[in-house]
Amino acid sequence: MAGIVVFFDFDKTIIDVDSDNWVVDELGATDLFNQLLPTMPWNSLMDRMMNELHTQGITIQDIEEVLKRVPIHPRIVPAIKSAYALGCDLRVISDANVFFIETILKHVGIRDCFSEINTNPGYVDEEGRLRILPYVDFQTSPHGCNLCPPNMCKGMIVERIQGILAKEGKKRMIYLGDGIGDFCPSLKLMETDFVMPRKDFPAWNLINKNRTLVKATVHEWTDGEEFEHILLQLINTITVEESQLLSVEYCKFQTMSKAATHGALPRALPVPY
């Protein structure tokens, strides 16, 4: 059962909006954000926006209050709790930032369901200003993937985890996401994995246009209810398949041990009489 890793995008997947836009809009800084967006990468702009808001007297507590009001479909939190209770290894992969994600996950009581949060670093500096940094330092060590934004390649994160898990034995993966940045990691999944793109969102469009490039089985979803239903069904399907595989292996092992006892197969070690 613990052989299943589930990757969750955060914005428009776990929560129903984009957390960066939510904070900027709720704090009344949309015009400045839109004005600056053509001039710098999104991630650098968020750091700049947090500085602007701090200058205007917006505090960390104000930002936390806004984050706690973020809309989440009522079936998402129960779905994540169930997947965790079923023994799955849950991980976030997001281009938001650690401050926004942890504040929200803690507020809805599911932070401890996740073994890892892969996202842009963020911290509150000594002046009480939220700083947001890129996950990949694109000035000194660019990731080189042309599908992804300069600060993060989610495909590289999936590959790193695949590498670690391969050493621990076989694991099956489920990936849920909506955005352009969720297409690259979808291409890294294997035939035995599943990708759940949100219907009519950019990742879904890209996957449908490039179906031959995606090895994993695709299951689309529209809202929190389908998110819960499909995710739990896939976990169940994988669990049944894996237990059948285990029992086949067990039968093979029993047949071999019987054959060895009856002398049909050479014994690996001489049996002392």
Question: Footprint of Mg ion on this chain (CB under 5 A)?
Answer: 9, 11-12, 178-179
Residues 6+ apart with CB under 8 A from 140: none
Residue 121 has, within 13 A of its CA and on its CB side, a CA count of 8
Tokens of 215: 């090895």
Q: Establish whether 112 is an annotated binding residue.
A: no
Q: Establish whether 178 is an annotated binding residue.
A: yes
Whole-angstrom distance, CA of residue 99 vs CA of residue 11: 13
Active-site residue, 112 included: no
Whole-angstrom distance, CA of residue 171 vs CA of residue 17: 31
Q: Is 153 in the site for Zn ion (CB under 5 A)?
A: yes
Tokens of 91: 């991980």
* Candidate list 17, 108, 147, 165; residue touching Zn ion; CB under 5 A: 147
Whole-angstrom distance, CA of residue 207 vs CA of residue 211: 6
Q: DSSP string spanning 151-218?
A: T--HHHHHHHHHHHHHHH---EEEEEE-SGGGHHHHHH--TT-EEEEBTTSHHHHHHHHTGGG--SEE
Q: Is 155 in the site for Zn ion (CB under 5 A)?
A: yes
- Residue among 4, 48, 40 nearest 24 (CA): 48
Smallest gap from residue 182 Cβ to Mg ion (A): 7
Note whether 205 and 226 are within 8 A (CB).
no
Select 33 or 183, whichever has its Cβ closest to Mg ion: 183
- Per rule CB under 5 A, count of chain residues that contact Zn ion: 6
Whole-angstrom distance, CA of residue 130 vs CA of residue 123: 6
Residue with tokens 């169940």: 236
Stretch of residues binding Zn ion (CB under 5 A), selected from 57-65, 101-109, 179-187, 210-218: 179-187
Tokens of 188: 């890294």
Which of Zn ion, Mg ion, none does residue 155 bind to, with CB < 5 to 8 Å depending on kind? Answer: Zn ion
User: Which one is catalytic: 9, 18, 47, 193?
Assistant: 9
Q: Establish whether 11 is an annotated binding residue.
A: yes
Q: Establish whether 16 is an annotated binding residue.
A: no
Which of Mg ion, Zn ion, none does residue 12 bind to, with CB < 5 to 8 Å depending on kind? Answer: Mg ion
Active-site residue, 9 included: yes
Select 95 or 226, whichever has its Cβ closest to Zn ion: 95
Q: Establish whether 62 is an annotated binding residue.
A: no
3-state secondary structure at position 85: helix
Q: Is 184 in the site for Zn ion (CB under 5 A)?
A: yes
One character per residue 65-104, x = contact with Zn ion (rule: CB under 5 A)? ----------------------------------------
Which of Zn ion, Mg ion, none does residue 178 bind to, with CB < 5 to 8 Å depending on kind? Answer: Mg ion
Residue 198 has, within 13 A of its CA and on its CB side, a CA count of 25
Smallest gap from residue 109 Cβ to Mg ion (A): 21
Enumerate binding residues for Zn ion (CB under 5 A).
145, 147-148, 153, 155, 184
Annotated binding site: 9, 11, 20, 95, 178
Q: Which residues are catalytic?
A: 9, 11
